[in-house]
Amino acid sequence: MSDVCIIGVGIHPFGRTDGLSGMDQGVYAVRQALADAGADWADIQFAYGASEAAGNPDTMVEQLGLTGLQFINVRNGCAAGGSALFSAQMAIKSGEFELGLAVGFDKHPRGAFNPMPADFNLPDWYGEAGYMITTQFFANKITRYMHEYGISATSLGRVAEKAFRNAVHAPHAWRREPVALDAIMDAPMVSDPYTKYMFCSPAEGGVALILASEKKARELGKPLIRLKAAAMRTRPPGSFEVFAPSIDIKRGGSATRIASTDAFRMAGIGPEDIAIAQLQDTEAGAEIMHMAENGFCKDGEQDQWLAEGLTEIDGRLPVNTDGGCLACGEPIGASGLRQVYENVVQLRGDGGGRQVPGNPKTAYGHVYGAPGVSAVTILER
Amino acid sequence: MRAIAEGLFTDETPPRLIGGRHRQSGRIVFPCPAGDDYERHPLKREGTLWSYTIQRYRPKSPPYAGPEAFHPWPVAYVELGGEAIVEARLANVEPEDIRIGMPLELTLVALDPAAADPRLVHAFQPARVAS
């Protein structure tokens, strides 16, 4: 079967844009992606749109044009963008369509998300007692992981330091000032061992990708960035997820491990073949755990990887080349598509000051979220 | 003094947490889910620390129903041998003295000690050393 190709990308800068709705930021990204692809809105046959908190994506046809196209909304937590992209590629693979759009955008209020127990099928006392706090979960998870695999607190700091350093060169990133390792380590604790620089924040932004069949991509004369795999998976028994009043004694795998294994199988390559990786880093330790869960290193090797700079732009496997969630923030609907945007930029060689050297040919994107969902994409040039 | 919710602790002194045991698989969870799949299963009072963090900012209300005044508290997961790993506050321990693997025992603490009729939540504290 011929591949699905990504022929146009667009992004509205992440962060805070007062006066512009999340939807408008999505529309901005779509127009940029159309221009990049050299396509007209009237040529787009279908769209999948993802937004958690900024409205129904399909209503953007009001601004883009009432062409009558098929437009399906996707809501899938942190995997929403990945799910939109998965659905879009299936629409082309099925032979039904040749040219379509995956778009994601969001706009969250300032401060931490404020979830309610009932939305997670939990009793009210759980929230009343102060447990509906995502940072508690992230911190408990990494504390256990650090204990089991000998990961140092300095490694958490190194991940954050790298994120802000890479973001200096990413025009779409939010926090683009470098922060010294000492300042990261000495900052106020939010949930031990994480200081305030080690968590990402809810944010705003929009990303759009134009997808085409290989035949259509060749007609349009675009460089062929092939989507070799897109896999979205849910959790197995024994995983450790947010808002858990108890977890099983018998520990198990994770949604990430399943999605990653299946994506590599679909692409017919392995972790050693990947040149660039964007890994979900809602907090610094997530990037560390996800390096192993996605098969790039063994549990416990991360300290050495980070100390030796193996995940830097010029390292063996550059990770989160645009600063990831730590520097870009997390507009939920757009976050997974940002990774794919960044991977396309890198594979085209358009990364500027953050360009990975050596003419990279393969790029990996990974999102993970509540309550145990993960989506992985693999691109090849 | 009253429990923050019905069905969380036994009436014994000292009390135990009431978990649920899946009738087919034997899987044990806390709290005990409604419905017929799980039967009530009082959990062990003693366990060991599996992981922890410190809650360093006051959670938003709602849903948090604790006092306006805020003091950081430890939030942990406690392994109850062979049963489940239960999320709970830690009580009567300083943050710098917390260690993974330390022996713990169940206690109940007031969500707001200054309240006229405080509501009790479950917590674990360092186990008393048998002398």
Question: Using one digit for the tens of pLDDT, what is the confidence trace for A316-362?
Answer: 999 999 999 999 999 999 999 999 999 999 999 999 999 999 999 99
Report whether pLDDT(A18) > 70: yes
Mean pLDDT for B20-39 is 96
How high is the mean pLDDT of chain B? 95
Q: Is the Cα torsion angle A170, A173, A174, A180 positive or negative in sign?
A: negative
Are B51 and A144 an interchain contact pair (Cβ–Cβ within 8 Å)? yes
Which among B29, B30, B53 is the top mutation candidate for probing chain A, defined by the most A β-carbons within 10 Å of its own β-carbon?
B53
Tell me what pLDDT residue A371 has: 83
Cβ proximity of B106 and B117 under 8 Å: no
Of B5, B55, B86, the CB nearest to A191: B55
For residue range A170-228, list pLDDT tens digits in order. 999 999 999 999 999 999 999 999 999 999 988 999 999 999 999 999 999 988 999 99
Helix (H/G/I), strand (E/B), else coil: B97 = helix
Residue A49 and residue A60: Cα distance in Å, rounded?
10
For residue range A51-66, list pLDDT tens digits in order. 999 999 999 999 999 9
Predicted TM-score (pTM) of the model is 0.96
Q: How many CB pairs under 8 A join A and B?
A: 109
Residue B131 lies in a domain: no
A300: left (phi over 0), alpha (psi -120 to 50) or beta: left
Confidence of residue A115 (pLDDT cuts 50, 70, 90): confident
- Residues of B within 8 A of A127 (CB-CB) are 62-65
Q: Which of A76-80, A253-257, A265-269, A309-313 has the lowest mean pLDDT?
A: A76-80
Q: Which of the 8 DSSP states describes residue B83?
A: T
For residue range B37-94, list pLDDT tens digits in order. 999 999 999 999 999 999 999 999 999 999 999 999 999 999 999 999 999 999 999 9
Report whether pLDDT(B131) > 50: no
Q: What is the architecture of the domain spanning A4-110+200-380?
A: 3-Layer(aba) Sandwich (3.40)
State which residues form the domain around B19. Answer: 2-126
Tell me what pLDDT residue A352 has: 97
Of B5, B54, B79, the CB nearest to A189: B54
Taking CA–CA distances from A195, the nearest residue in chain B reads B56
Of A133, A143, A246, the CB nearest to B59: A133
- Residues of A within 8 A of B100 (CB-CB) are 143-144, 147
How high is the mean pLDDT of chain A? 96
* CB atoms inside a 10 Å sphere around CB B61: 13
Are B57 and A244 an interchain contact pair (Cβ–Cβ within 8 Å)? no
Report whether pLDDT(A5) > 80: yes
Report whether pLDDT(A119) > 50: yes
Mean pLDDT for A253-266 is 97
Task: Report the domain count for chain B.
Answer: 1
Taking CA–CA distances from A115, the nearest residue in chain B reads B63
Q: Which of the 8 DSSP states describes residue B89?
A: E
For residue A8, what are the β-bridge partners? A210
Of A128, A136, A188, the CB nearest to B53: A136
Of B31, B50, B82, the CB nearest to A245: B31
For chain A, list residues whose CB is within 8 angstroms of any CB belonging to chain B: 112, 114, 116-117, 123-125, 127-133, 135-136, 139-141, 143-144, 147, 188-193, 244-249
Are B62 and A244 an interchain contact pair (Cβ–Cβ within 8 Å)? no
Report whether pLDDT(A286) > 70: yes
Percentage of residues in chain B having pLDDT higher than 90: 95
- Residues of A within 8 A of B69 (CB-CB) are none
Mean pLDDT for B124-129 is 90
Tell me what pLDDT residue A363 has: 98
Residue B60 lies in a domain: yes
Are A144 and B60 an interchain contact pair (Cβ–Cβ within 8 Å)? no
Which among A128, A133, A201 is the top mutation candidate for probing chain B, defined by the most B β-carbons within 10 Å of its own β-carbon?
A128
Are A132 and B63 an interchain contact pair (Cβ–Cβ within 8 Å)? yes
Mean pLDDT for A239-250 is 95
Mean pLDDT for A257-285 is 98
**Domain extents in chain A:** 4-110+200-380
Measure in Å the smallest separation between the Cα of A147 and chain B Cα atoms.
8
- Residues of A within 8 A of B4 (CB-CB) are 125, 128-129
ipTM tops the 0.95 cut: yes
C-alpha separations of B110 from A60, A129, B36 in Å: 51, 10, 32
Tell me what pLDDT residue A76 has: 86
Confidence of residue A1 (pLDDT cuts 50, 70, 90): low
C-alpha separations of A143 from A189, B20, B86, B88, B99 in Å: 14, 27, 16, 15, 11
Report whether pLDDT(A370) > 70: yes
Report whether pLDDT(A29) > 70: yes
Confidence of residue B129 (pLDDT cuts 50, 70, 90): low
B29 interface with A at CB cutoff 8 Å: yes
Residue B40 lies in a domain: yes
Are A249 and B53 an interchain contact pair (Cβ–Cβ within 8 Å)? no
Confidence of residue A288 (pLDDT cuts 50, 70, 90): very high
